[in-house]
Amino acid sequence: MTISEQQEKLLEELTFFHDWTERYEYVIGLGKKLPALPEAARTPEHLIKGCQSQVWLDAQCENGVMQFRADSDSVITKGMIALFVNVLDGQPADAVVKADLSFIDRTGLKEHLAPTRANALGLMAAQMKQLAFHHATQSSI
């Protein structure tokens, strides 16, 4: 599936939930499905700076395809990063760099989060794009 198709699938899944409690539970559930990040990857260089909670993001690139792993010390924040991991993991690095991630606005999450948590969504997206850019430029050298 393309990034756009992954985004649409996620947005469609969210429409099944009628209130924000159910949607939060769904997002938290996505976070719980993320594989545990090894302790060795929970380093300061993997932290996303500026997030209220600790969020670790590790990225690898094999044959131009991004592999993202993430974790957080907060269940809602882990769910938030899981949204991006579900959409961007397994995608070509250049596609991640060019991706329009405004789908997150269409989830309605930002309106129901504290400002610091809403800001974290932008930081997560930016960090993932930056890592993809780094890997895309490394592979073209």
Please give the positions annotated as active site.
51
**Rounded Cα gap, residues 23 and 42, in angstroms:** 28
Return the sign of the alpha-carbon dihedral for residues 14, 19, 127, 99.
positive
Exposed/middle/buried for residue 94 (C-beta within 10 Å: 0-12, 13-18, 19+): middle
In Å, the largest CA–CA distance within the chain is 49
Residue 71: name the closest of 84, 61, 87, 90 by CA.
Answer: 84
d(C-alpha 11, C-alpha 52), whole Å:
25
